[in-house]
Amino acid sequence: MRYILMSWGSWVGLVASGVVWGLPRMPHYQDWMPYGYKLGGIALVVMYLSFGLGSLGVYSLVAGGMGWGTTVTQNRKIFRLGFTALVLALGLGWSYMKLMSLTLQLW
Amino acid sequence: MSAARTVVSLERMRDVQPFHAGCLKHFAQAVAYVAIGIVLVKWGTGLPGWQDVIASENGPVERMSAAIWFMGFIWCLGAAFSQRNRAIEWLGFAMFLLLFGLRELDAHVWATGWNLDKVANFWNPHYPLLERLLVLGFLIFPCLIVGLMLCSRFWKVAGRAWREGEAWLSHLILSLGLLVLCVSLDKVGPYGLLFIEISDSGKVFLMILEESLELILAVFALVSLWPYLQVAFLSDESPMGIRPRS
């Protein structure tokens, strides 16, 4: 289990499946976003950053929680990093919603 | 802080594969991963043709490439935060991964209204002079400076790394080769070669090849960085406050 969670394949797969199946199902998602309105393009970039932060956050919480770090201090540090990354990911997800609803109002 | 210290210490801390074998193994892993991923995406999304999956604008493969570049960007930022004494290298990598992600989403086209890839556009009076100067000042020159800084740091240790067969150099060379191939295919695909007319089906094939290679490059870049990212996140290198676990 630890080997799977520490491998790149798991986290790349998580993010890839997120953008292939998750992103088109997000509220307000439109295929033409970046090309129809610049604000939509910014919203899309924000959402991609949110996926990256989400993966880093979950990895860091798992790594810190399961004690993969070399020291206790490091485990606490990476746990804090993961928590911060997840909060930022949620914030960016919220920003995506606001930017997209604004884009659709302006369109 | 020097690149030599960075590379040597990272190589010692991880059981990195030996020179060519490790590089080719990682490349083969990336190719196999992408191939399986594309088949799964076609099956999962129910899109009718391979062209719709791989070569369509904002299609699944392009979205995956962009997402992996952005993921690499965020993880490198995290590594810079976690491994402060190598922050410059991590931030340099992060900047280039962000640029690749934005380039994959064509952000340079929809944000400015013109294609920054075409060098001739910088002389084109059709586009506002102020905008062209802003792009040069805030995008091109900073990238050149960061690129030159990273080159100078790695150039100092490249000879020794080649002789001793350190894995990072072969990964870097293969990544740059793939990048050149992708850019060449990107330029050749839609327009055809200078003297050779390419049929429509040939252009589609080149587009499919280019998008697949871009995804392989993104995965390979992350695979190459993965051992170093793990070291950055999991090892405590700060001289203060170390408390061994057992």
What is the ipTM for the molecules in this complex? 0.94
pLDDT of residue A57: 96
Count of structural domains, chain B: 1
Q: Which residues of chain A have pLDDT under 70?
A: 33-37, 107
Is there a contact between B70 and A51 if contact means CB atoms under 8 Å apart?
A: yes
- Predicted confidence at residue B195, as pLDDT, reads 61
B241 touches chain A (CB under 8 A): yes
Residues of A in contact with B98 (CB under 8 A): none
Domain annotation covers residue B38: no
B30 in any annotated domain:
no
**Does B99 lie at the interface with A, CB-CB under 8 angstroms?**
no
The pLDDT score that the predictor gives to residue B177 is 93
Name the minimum distance, in Å, from the CA of A106 to any CA of chain B: 17
A56/chain B closest Cα distance in angstroms: 6
- In whole angstroms, what is the distance from residue B71 CA to residue B98 CA? 9
Which of B67, B110, B236 lies at the smallest CB-CB distance from A74? B236
Does any domain span residue B164?
Answer: yes
Please give the structure tokens belonging to residue B126.
Answer: 């059709």
* Residues paired with A76 in a beta bridge: none
Please indicate whether, in this complex, the C-beta atoms of B241 and A73 are within 8 angstroms of each other.
Answer: yes
The pLDDT score that the predictor gives to residue B206 is: 84
Instruction: Determine the pLDDT at residue A31.
Output: 72
Is residue B138 in some structural domain? yes
Distance (Å, whole) CA B65 – CA B70:
9
- Name the minimum distance, in Å, from the CA of B65 to any CA of chain A: 8
Residue A15 and residue A55 in contact, taking contact as beta carbons nearer than 8 Å: yes
DSSP A20-45: IIIGGGSTT--TTHHHH-HHHHHHHH
In this prediction, residue B191 carries a pLDDT of 62
Contact A74 B106 (CB under 8 A): no
Range of the domain at B84: 64-234
The rounded distance, in Å, linking the Cα atoms of A66 and B121 is 53
pLDDT of residue B7: 40
Whether B40 is covered by a domain: the verdict is no
CB contact under 8 A, B222 and A69: no
pLDDT at res. B240: 40
Look at residue B12 and tell me if it is in a domain: no
Low-confidence ranges of chain B (pLDDT < 50): 1-19, 239-246
